[in-house]
Amino acid sequence: MTIQEIYQRFENISDRKRLDDYQRFGINKPELTYGIKTPCLKQLAKEIGINHSLAIDLWKEDCHETKMLAAYIADPKKVTDNLLESWVKDLYSWDVCDNLIMHYVKKTPNAYETAKMWCNRKPEFEKRAGYALIASLAITDKKMDDNKFLEFFPFILKGATDERNFVKKAVNWAIRQIGKRSIFLKNKALVLCYQIKNIESKSAKWIAADAIRELTNEKTLKNIKR
């Protein structure tokens, strides 16, 4: 399937009425968006299959959905440092960021080290990508030793004072998902939360309070299996 054919498909399945929702939910650059529903994009990705070269070309397009689609069809085995660096620097919206993380970057061989590296970045969405990657790994990498996630605690502590909306929400997401992996990590995460809560920072206090509320919630505790 060519890029031109993909754009034609976009025209056929677009829903411009969704653009108002995009703005309401803080999705940047709605003018570059067709308003395509995620299931429709996933169906298109399934039809295309893994196609790394096409993914690279799609990412270069000045279009929201081509970047989303690229994350679905890129091959994690063919990742390079230059590719990840180029893509993370292009991030401009939380949904493109999180989609890239959840459907591509988390599958790459050095995802854990990538997360640490990106947590130290200054640009908002590059930094968000690091914490979103931590959260995604905590959710999906069931075989990883829980102790591995303790390595992220210094990065979470450091990022807790970042007052930027999309960073602080990702820091919060990371600590909550780590805490929900197991009773062991829940207890460790709560200790970290109380440490963060004592920091004189509005962001830190919000991150800690929200995470404590979820990690001590009865429903959450029932779902933690080990």
Q: How far apart are CA 212 and CA 204, in angstroms?
A: 12
Which tokens in the block code for residue 52?
A: 């790394």
What are the domain boundaries of the chain? 1-93, 110-226
Q: Is 145 exposed, middle or buried (0-12, 13-18, 19+ CB in 10 A)?
A: exposed
Count of beta carbons in the 10 Å neighbourhood of residue 124: 18
What confidence category does residue 34 fall into, taking pLDDT thresholds of 50, 70 and 90? confident
Contact 103, 68 (CB under 8 A): no
Per residue in 184-222, pLDDT tens? 999 999 999 999 999 999 999 999 999 999 999 988 888
Decide: 30 and 22 in contact? Cβ < 8 Å: yes
Express each pLDDT in 131-155 by its tens digit.
999 999 999 999 999 999 999 999 9
The answer on pLDDT for 40 being more than 70 is yes
Site of tokens 């995460």: 189
Q: What pTM was computed for the model?
A: 0.93
Query: What is the C-alpha to C-alpha distance for residues 94 and 78, in angstroms, rounded to an integer?
Result: 25
Q: Are 72 and 42 in contact (CB under 8 A)?
A: yes
Find where tokens 């309401």 sit: 24
The CATH superfamily of 110-226 is Leucine-rich Repeat Variant (1.25.10.10)
Tens digit of each residue's pLDDT (9 = 90 or more) over 82-134:
999 999 999 998 999 999 999 999 999 999 999 999 999 999 999 999 999 99
Contact 66, 59 (CB under 8 A): yes
Q: Which whole number is the average pLDDT over 43-51?
A: 97
